[in-house]
């Protein structure tokens, strides 16, 4: 039965005229109606207390824990059993506690009172329930807020903890930084003292370098400012296994003997041997390598970087190995004096750069053919070649008009110029040598060095000369043009000999201008210059006379050198 039904009956019961009914009827009907009322009270369960519910005060833990629906049920009504208890304890209207059985009206009144009482309690319970709901909602809201706040606080805490950790790290880093700063100060002190040490050592190094240059020059002077090396070419064919007419003593690398076996004019002895003994600064046999030869010259090349003019000549008959000695082959171990000297110059300049030296290099390559100068670095049209003239500058330096003076910075650049010069070089066929060069070729590297820190400068020239063949006219069977070439070559070589002799004898007049060769090489042939002459010898027996001539010419030069060395010792 619904609550609505229960409540609708109660007014009916109260309005029924009791007088028109019998006690029995009333007695029978009354309990039914009471039961119906009680049935309606079943919705009040579960009730844990019959005490009138108090108005909700401050939120209690029990209320918080109860779900809202259950709280509402408690407030709605007690259970049937509870109703009995309630009836037992419920306050009874005054004067209704002991109603006689017939006082049905009174009982009804009592019951109505009770109902009113319950209704008011129900109302207050509902109110209380509503209050609890509101309070619960507030609690939930507060709880959510509290959770939010907790979350926020946790975040703050996390951030603070992170900050704290960072602060810890910062303090570690600060102490590490302080440590580093200390180390830096120590290092700075160390760097300062090292810089002072380096400066001192640079001073010492510079002094050492200048001392080295001086001593090096002294050694070169003691060895002689004009030196002669002899080199014997190996046999080019296997026709002759030995070279009996050239003797090189095993124990002495400065001597060479040409032995000539002549028929005896006396008659008894079949033949006699005539020995021509020569002595030079060094004699290289047929098996000497290019690097062995250069080793002896490298000290002179060093002098060029130190500021001394250096010249190196290769003298000898056609085919004796002059070009091979000066230029050599393409293979590394076949490279001759010019490429090796260039390599050494650039390497040494690189090393000296660390000591504050800056070098500039200018290369030129010229040939003298029939007493005419030709630029070997010329790249224009052959018929557009300008005439080259040797001139002297106001500084008394020799220069050539219209000649290509190429600024070079690397060894490679110089090697390319050498290739170009070779292509330009005049060659002509002769009976002596298919690739015979009929001109003097002069490679010149002008070197300018400056040590700005020390205020020191040096200037020098390195001249490497491959002379034209020196053979006699008859042997080469030269005709007309060849005769003219030969005359010019021999004339200039003779003049070279004369100039060297005049220099060695310290003569007041040196006839440089007698030939283009000596005029051009004037700067590299006197004063503070150092000269080296190679005399190249062909090993073939038929070249005996030419070899003898060459050795005699070289010996004349060498004798002059010995005279100079003796004078130095005094
Ligand atoms: N030391 C050597 N070892 C091996 N081969 C050599 C040596 N010297 C010279 N030759 C060879 O001998 C030949 C002639 O040499 P080279 O051209 O150098 O003579 P040259 O004196 O320059 O002649 P020219 O005056 O006619 O120019 C070349 O084929 C060269 O390779």
Can you tell me which residue has the tokens 């300062």?
Answer: 192
Nearest atom within ligand 1 for CA of residue 466: 22
What pLDDT, on a 0 to 100 scale, did the predictor assign at position 270? 58
Residue located via tokens 């050694």: 219
What backbone phi and psi angles, to 5 degrees, belong to 262? -115, 150
Where is mean pLDDT largest: 28-37, 256-265, 289-298? Answer: 289-298
pLDDT 10s digits, 181-213: 999 999 999 999 898 888 888 777 777 777 777
d(Cα 213, Cα 350) in Å, to the nearest integer? 17
Angle between helices 104-223 and 68-76 (to 10 degrees): 170
pLDDT band, very low/low/confident/very high, at 535 (cuts 50, 70, 90):
very high
Q: How open is the CA angle 35-39-41, to the nearest 5 degrees?
A: 115
Enumerate residues lining ligand 1, CB below 6 A: 233-234, 236, 316, 318-324, 433, 435-437, 469, 536
For the chain, give the mean pLDDT. Answer: 77
Using the mean position of ligand 1's atoms as its centre, give its distance from the Cα of residue 241 in Å: 18
Helix (H), strand (E) at residue 314: strand 310-316
H-type helices in 226-326, by residue range?
290-305, 322-326
pLDDT digits (tens, 9 = 90+) for 392-403: 888 778 899 999
**Which residues make Cβ contacts (< 8 Å) with residue 74, sequence separation at least 6?**
46, 47, 48, 53, 66, 125, 129
427 forms bridges with which residues in the sheet?
A: 437
User: Residue 240 above 60 pLDDT?
Assistant: no
Instruction: Say how many C-beta atoms besides its own lie within 10 A of residue 337's C-beta.
Output: 24
pLDDT at 445: 95
Nearest to 256 by CA among 233, 289, 232, 288: 232
Would you say 320 and 233 are in contact if contact means Cβ atoms under 8 Å apart?
A: yes
**Which atom in ligand 1 lies closest to the alpha carbon of residue 286?**
1
Phi, then psi, of 387 in degrees rounded to 5: -75, 140
pLDDT of 447 above 80: yes
Contacts of 115 (CB under 8 A, 6+ apart): 10, 37
**38 confidence band (pLDDT: 50, 70, 90):** very low
Q: 439 is written with which tokens? A: 């001109």
Neighbours of 269 (CB within 10 A): 9
Closest protein CA for atom 14 of ligand 1? 319
The mean-pLDDT minimum among 81-95, 98-112, 143-157, 260-274 falls in 81-95
pLDDT at 435 over 60: no
pLDDT at 70 over 50: no
d(CA 381, CA 2): 132
pLDDT above 90 (res 428): no
Kindly tell me if the per-residue pLDDT of 565 is higher than 80: no
What is the distance in A from the centroid of ligand 1 to the CA of 339?
16
- Gap between the Cα atoms of 552 and 327, Å rounded: 25
Q: Which atom of ligand 1 is least distant from the CA of 435?
A: 26
Mean pLDDT calculated for residue range 279-307: 90
User: Which of 323, 328, 438 to mutate to test ligand 1, by most ligand atoms within 8 A of the CB atom?
Assistant: 323
Could you give the residue ranges of the DSSP H alpha helices within 237-336? 290-305, 322-326
Packing angle of the helix pair 104-223, 3-15 (nearest 10 deg): 150
Residue 459 tokens read as 């200037």
- Element counts in the chain: helices (H) and strands (E): 15, 14
Residue 505, pLDDT score = 78
Indicate whether 436 pLDDT > 70. no
Task: Please tell me the distance from the alpha carbon of residue 359 to that of residue 357, in angstroms, as a whole number.
Answer: 6
Atom of ligand 1 at shortest range from CA of 432: 26
What 3-state DSSP class applies to 386? coil
CA of 474 to the centre of ligand 1 (A): 21
Which residues are CB-contacts of 83 (< 8 A; sequence separation ≥ 6)?
38, 41, 44, 77
Burial class (CB in 10 A: 0-12, 13-18, 19+), 276: middle
User: Which three-class secondary structure state does DSSP give residue 372?
Assistant: strand
Distance CA 33, CA 107 (A): 12
Rounded distance between C-alpha atoms, residue 516 and residue 389, angstroms: 10
Q: With 0.80 as the threshold, say if the pTM is over it.
A: no
| C-alpha torsion sign, points 520, 526, 532, 537 | positive
Which of 62-66, 74-78, 566-570 is predicted least confidently?
566-570
How many residues comprise the chain? 570
Predicted confidence (pLDDT) per residue in 368-390, tens digit: 988 889 999 998 887 888 899 99
Q: Is the pLDDT of residue 226 over 60?
A: yes
Query: Taking the C-alpha atoms of 511, 516, 521 and 522 in order, what is their torsion angle to the nearest 10 degrees?
Result: 30
Residue having the nearest C-alpha atom to atom 8 of ligand 1: 321
Q: Cα-flanking dihedrals φ and ψ of residue 166, to 5°? A: -60, -45
362, two tokens = 């200018």
Q: CA-to-CA distance for 103 and 214, rounded, in angstroms?
A: 156
Contacts of 450 (CB under 8 A, 6+ apart): 357, 358, 359, 456, 457, 458
**Contact by Cβ (8 Å): 72, 43:** no
Ligand 1 atom with the smallest distance to the CA of 324 is 18
pLDDT at 141 over 70: yes
Tell me the two tokens of residue 226.
């004009």
Give the distance (Å) from ligand 1 centre to CA of residue 428: 15
Please compute the mean of the pLDDT values over residues 285-310 and round it to a whole number.
Answer: 89
| Nearest protein Cα to ligand 1, atom 12 | 321
Tell me the percentage of the chain whose pLDDT exceeds 70: 72
Alpha carbon of 541 to ligand 1 centroid (Å):
16
């Amino acid at each position: 039965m619904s609550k609505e039904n229960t409540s609708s009956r109660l007014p009916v019961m109260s309005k029924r005229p009791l007088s028109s009914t019998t006690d029995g009827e009333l007695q029978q009907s009354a309990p039914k109606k009471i039961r119906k009322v009680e049935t309606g009270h079943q919705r009040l369960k579960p009730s844990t207390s019959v005490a009138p519910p108090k108005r909700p005060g401050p939120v209690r833990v029990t209320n918080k824990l109860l779900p809202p629906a259950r709280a509402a049920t408690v407030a709605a009504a007690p259970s049937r059993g509870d109703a009995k208890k309630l009836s037992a304890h419920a306050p009874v209207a005054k004067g209704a506690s002991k109603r006689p059985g017939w006082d049905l009206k009174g009982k009804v009144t009592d019951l109505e009172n009770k109902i009113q009482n319950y209704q008011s309690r129900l109302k207050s319970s509902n109110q209380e329930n509503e209050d609890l709901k509101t309070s619960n909602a507030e609690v939930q809201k507060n709880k959510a807020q509290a959770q939010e706040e907790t979350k926020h606080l946790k975040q703050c805490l996390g951030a603070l903890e992170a900050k704290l950790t960072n602060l810890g790290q910062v303090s570690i880093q600060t102490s590490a930084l302080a440590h580093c700063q200390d180390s830096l100060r120590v290092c700075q002190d160390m760097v300062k003292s090292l810089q002072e040490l380096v400066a001192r050592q640079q001073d010492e190094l510079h002094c050492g370098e200048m001392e080295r240059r001086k001593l090096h020059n002294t050694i070169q002077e003691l060895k002689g400012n004009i030196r002669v090396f002899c080199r014997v070419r190996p046999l080019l064919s296997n026709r002759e296994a030995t070279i009996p007419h050239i003797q090189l003593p095993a124990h002495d690398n400065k001597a060479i003997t040409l032995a000539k076996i002549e028929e005896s004019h006396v008659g008894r002895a079949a033949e006699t041997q005539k020995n021509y003994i020569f002595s030079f600064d060094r004699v290289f046999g047929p098996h000497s390598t290019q690097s062995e030869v250069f080793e002896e010259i490298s000290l002179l090349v060093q002098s060029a970087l130190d500021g001394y003019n250096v010249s190196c000549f290769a003298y000898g008959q056609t085919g004796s190995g002059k070009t091979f000695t000066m230029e050599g082959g393409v293979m590394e171990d076949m490279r001759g004096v010019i490429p090796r000297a260039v390599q050494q110059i650039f390497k040494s300049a690189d090393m000296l750069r660390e000591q504050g030296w800056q070098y500039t290099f200018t290369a030129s390559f010229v040939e003298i053919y029939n007493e005419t100068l030709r630029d070997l670095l010329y790249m224009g049209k052959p018929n557009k070649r300008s005439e080259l003239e040797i001139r002297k500058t106001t500084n008394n330096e020799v220069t050539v008009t219209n000649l290509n003076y190429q600024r070079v910075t690397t060894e490679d650049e110089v090697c390319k110029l050498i290739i170009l010069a070779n292509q330009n070089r005049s060659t002509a066929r002769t009976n002596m040598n298919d690739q015979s060069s009929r001109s003097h070729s002069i490679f010149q590297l002008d070197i300018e060095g400056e040590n700005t820190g020390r205020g020191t400068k040096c200037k020098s020239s390195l001249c490497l000369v491959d002379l034209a063949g020196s053979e006699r006219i008859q042997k080469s069977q030269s005709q007309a043009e060849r005769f003219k070439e030969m005359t010019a070559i021999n004339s200039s070589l003779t003049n070279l000999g004369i100039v060297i002799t005049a220099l060695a004898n310290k003569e007041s007049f040196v006839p440089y201008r007698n030939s283009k060769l000596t005029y051009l090489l004037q700067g590299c042939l006197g004063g503070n210059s150092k000269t080296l002459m190679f005399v190249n010898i062909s090993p073939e027996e038929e070249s005996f006379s030419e070899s003898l001539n060459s050795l005699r010419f070289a010996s004349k030069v060498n004798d002059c050198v010995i005279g100079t060395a003796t004078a130095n010792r005094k």
